[in-house]
Chains A and B, each alone.
Chain A
Amino acid sequence: MNALTINDLNKSFKDVHVIKDLNLDIKQGEVYGFIGKNGAGKTTTINLILSLIHKDNGKIQLFEEEVFFTEQNYKKKIGYVPDVPVFPSYMNAYDYLMFTLDIFNDIDNYDERIKEMLEFVSLDNNKKRISSYSRGMKQRLAIAQALIHNPDILIMDEPTSALDPQGRKDVIDILLKLKGNKTIFYSTHILDDVERVCDRIGILHKGQLILEDTIENLKHEFYARRVHIVSKSSPDILLSKIEKSDTVKKFRRENNGVTVQLNDDSRSNALLEELINMEEEIVSYTQVVPTVEEIFLQKTND
Chain B
Amino acid sequence: MIKLLKYDFIYLWKTYKFLIFPAIAVIFAFASPLTAKYINELLALLTSTATGDPLIVLPEPTIQDSYAQYTSNLYEIFLIVGVFVSVSIFMSDKNKGLLPLILSKPINRTKYLLSKLSSLSVVILVSLLVGGIIFTYSTWVLFDSVDVVLVLWISLIFSLYVVFIFAAAMFFSQYTKNYATASILTFIVYIVFSIFGGFEKGILEYLPGRLTVRITELVFEIGEASTLVWTIVITIVISVVLFYFSLRKFNKYDL
Give the shortest distance, in Å, between B8 (CB) and chain A (any CB): 11
* B103 lies within 8 A of A52 (CB): yes
* B98 lies within 8 A of A72 (CB): no
Chain A residues with CB under 8 A of B7: 99, 102
CB within 8 Å of A: which B1-30 residues: 3, 6-7, 11, 14-15
Give the shortest distance, in Å, between B11 (CB) and chain A (any CB): 7
Q: How many residues of A contact B (CB 8 A)?
A: 28
Q: How many residues of B contact A (CB 8 A)?
A: 22
B49 part of interface (Cβ distance < 8 Å): no
* B3 lies within 8 A of A88 (CB): no
Chain B residues with CB under 8 A of A100: 105
Chain A residues with CB under 8 A of B108: 70, 72
CB within 8 Å of A: which B86-121 residues: 96-101, 103-108
> Which of B11, B104, B107, B252 contacts A90 (CB under 8 A)?
B11
Chain A window 136-155, contacts with chain B (Cβ cutoff 8 Å), 1 for yes, 0 for no: 00000010010000000000
Chain A residues with CB under 8 A of B252: 54
How far is A88 from B101 in the complex, measured between Cα atoms in Å? 10
* B3 lies within 8 A of A102 (CB): yes
How far is A47 from B100 in the complex, measured between Cα atoms in Å? 8
* A104 lies within 8 A of B255 (CB): no
Give the shortest distance, in Å, between B65 (CB) and chain A (any CB): 43
How far is A61 from B50 in the complex, measured between Cα atoms in Å? 90
B254 part of interface (Cβ distance < 8 Å): yes
How far is A104 from B108 in the complex, measured between Cα atoms in Å? 12
| Contacts A73-B106, A99-B7; A82 near B101 (Cβ below 8 A) | yes
A53 part of interface (Cβ distance < 8 Å): yes
> Which of B14, B96, B98, B105 contacts A104 (CB under 8 A)?
B105
How far is A32 from B3 in the complex, measured between Cα atoms in Å? 34
CB within 8 Å of B: which A181-228 residues: none
How far is A99 from B103 in the complex, measured between Cα atoms in Å? 13
Chain B residues with CB under 8 A of A52: 99-100, 103-104, 254-255
Residue of B nearest to A89 (CB): B96
A135 part of interface (Cβ distance < 8 Å): no
How far is A85 from B101 in the complex, measured between Cα atoms in Å? 7
> Which of B96, B98, B106, B255 contacts A103 (CB under 8 A)?
B106
How far is A75 from B103 in the complex, measured between Cα atoms in Å? 9
* A87 lies within 8 A of B103 (CB): no
Chain A window 67-92, contacts with chain B (Cβ cutoff 8 Å), 1 for yes, 0 for no: 00010110110101010111110110
Chain A residues with CB under 8 A of B106: 72-73, 75-76, 103-104
Residue of A nearest to B104 (CB): A80
Residue of A nearest to B99 (CB): A52
How far is A84 from B101 in the complex, measured between Cα atoms in Å? 10
Give the shortest distance, in Å, between B101 (CB) and chain A (any CB): 6
Chain A residues with CB under 8 A of B3: 102-103
Give the shortest distance, in Å, between B103 (CB) and chain A (any CB): 6
Chain A window 240-273, contacts with chain B (Cβ cutoff 8 Å), 1 for yes, 0 for no: 0000000000000000000000000000000000
Chain B residues with CB under 8 A of A85: 101
CB within 8 Å of A: which B35-89 residues: none
Interface centre among B101, B252, B254, B255 (most CB of A within 10 A): B101
Chain B residues with CB under 8 A of A47: 100, 254-255
Could you list 6 examples of A-B contacts with CB < 8 Å? A51-B103, A52-B255, A53-B254, A54-B254, A72-B108, A142-B101
